[in-house]
Structure 1
Amino acid sequence: MGNSVGADQRFSPKLGTRGEALACTLLKEKGYKIIERNFKTPIGEIDIVAREGQTLVFVEVKTRGSKAFGSAKWAVDRKKQQKLSRLALYYLNLKAWKDRPARFDVVAVDLERQGERIELFRNAFDLVG
């Protein structure tokens, strides 16, 4: 049987909200301008849409409260990249920003008893079809 506390932490909305708040703080410190948070579409949600210079940045935030499920930085697999790509294309079409430069960043937030570890991965992956 698995660790139910770890499972609860992994899917806790509170944990995700805290991770996204920490990610926004980090992005702002690095000069990003936050445009949207938790942008909902019919096919899913984009955690953060930001701008760095003229580049639109779609940011996926992965938060873990325990190493039981591995580090947050390994949580964006190919399937998730495909979904994020579809979400980004939906957003760009909706806003009529198809010609704007865009990229995908990932912020990995590991919250453990020893403290927080937050890592930004710029250009984490390319648009996946």
Structure 2
Amino acid sequence: MLVKDIMVRDVATIPALATIREAMQAMRQRGVKSLVVQRRDAHDAYGIITYTNILKTIVAEDGDIDLINVYDICAKPAVTISAELDVKHAARLMVNMRLRRLLVTSGNDLAGIITMNDIVGSILQMAEPEA
């Protein structure tokens, strides 16, 4: 099974200069725990912002959610993989690097996102006995 077979294609993104408040609102509206931070130009890398990044900034650094941009606190560059990669290699990368999600690219463009939940869900579907 390939990454493209189970990845989520409708990726929740946010502009790099959006505020933390805007990111939190977007996460709540989309029902997601992370957002892909868009590249600022063709030579930039994608970033990813999660609830963890946000909480660390707000609590640990007394950050103001209306003054800090997502670009300043996101994990960047985000780890990306090819849509044509076998899922077992994506899972191994996640385990070895202690990541919960990977961005999926086609060429240099964002094609999707794959999470540990996506992989575990696909394994469970394959392992379900037929009725």
Q: What TM-score results when the alignment is normalised by the length of structure 2?
A: 0.26
Q: What TM-score results when the alignment is normalised by the length of structure 1?
A: 0.27
Asked which structure has the greater CA Rg, the reply is 2
Q: Which protein has greater RCO, CA pairs closer than 8 Å, 6+ apart? A: 2
